[in-house]
Structure 1
């Protein structure tokens, strides 16, 4: 038996001024803007994640990542670097790896936040098992955020402390 489930993306007509035209979240000018269509594709988010929820998660992720990097950013601003792309770093694929790392941090933080919000959507036994399975996804996304931020700042990825 086959079934078809229409998602929010598939059922909404796109008109000028609709979310499809507003996919860019403008950042503070030093860090890059975030394209929510790229975030959706990279994190494999389907139409069940509404535009509004994706925008909220993206705004929160940008604010959190920017706040964590504020001291690091201030050092680069003081050194005369006008934006993240001007921070010395290798270029891979035609862009600074710092830009890729920043997007990785924002994308994964937004993904973790959205996954946490959606994991309790189904309260059946199978839904409970799926929520438990999603815990690993959330942990991996948060780990990717930590690694991306450490890589940006030139810090080691792990801290080991003897007790």
Structure 2
């Protein structure tokens, strides 16, 4: 039994056959199998390769909506990809690329949890869905932090009343 109130698991062979997703060549390619491992999506029942791909594409669109203008400015400045934009490197990889992948992972998992938690309408399923609410908020926060890290803006929004 998973946290979604569903029985089952993803067949490893099906996961391995999912091709990398390349959004715009300016952004790094996303490897669904790697994303599944890094964000523990292998234990999420009913996440078929097709559902995973759709959730990743939704995450890419969401991120492009938020950083697209910034990306165009970077392109105009002569940078051919996100990895080319000057930034510190950690473990040989640009912190911007690391943040991009973190945002994709958080938004993908968020999309899957929000879409799949209604699969079980039993009282046990309702309890499981309620238990996921804090996770949803944390994933949304993680995505916002990663996107703000890319944009170089603060993570905190303060409004005067």
Same fold, judged at TM 0.5 (above): yes
For these two proteins, the number of residue pairs brought into alignment is: 153
Secondary structure of the structure 2 residue equivalent to 1:7: coil
Higher RCO, 1 vs 2 (CA within 8 Å, ≥6 residues apart): 2
Match of 1:110 in 2: 108
Could you list the runs of 5+ residues in structure 1 that have no partner in the other structure? none
State the distance in 1 between where 2:116 and 2:126 align. 12
Bigger radius of gyration, 1 or 2?
A: 1
State the distance in 2 between where 1:42 and 1:8 align. 15
State the distance in 2 between where 1:108 and 1:22 align. 19
Match of 1:28 in 2: 24
State the distance in 2 between where 1:111 and 1:118 align. 10
Q: CA separation of 1:57/1:6 partners in 2, compared to 1, >3 Å: closer, same or farther? A: closer
**TM-score when normalising by structure 2:** 0.89
State the distance in 1 between where 2:26 and 2:95 align. 15
Question: Equivalent residues in 2 for 1:9-158 (5 A)?
Answer: 9=11, 14=13, 20-46=16-42, 48=45, 49-158=47-156
**TM-score when normalising by structure 1:** 0.88
Match of 2:4 in 1: none
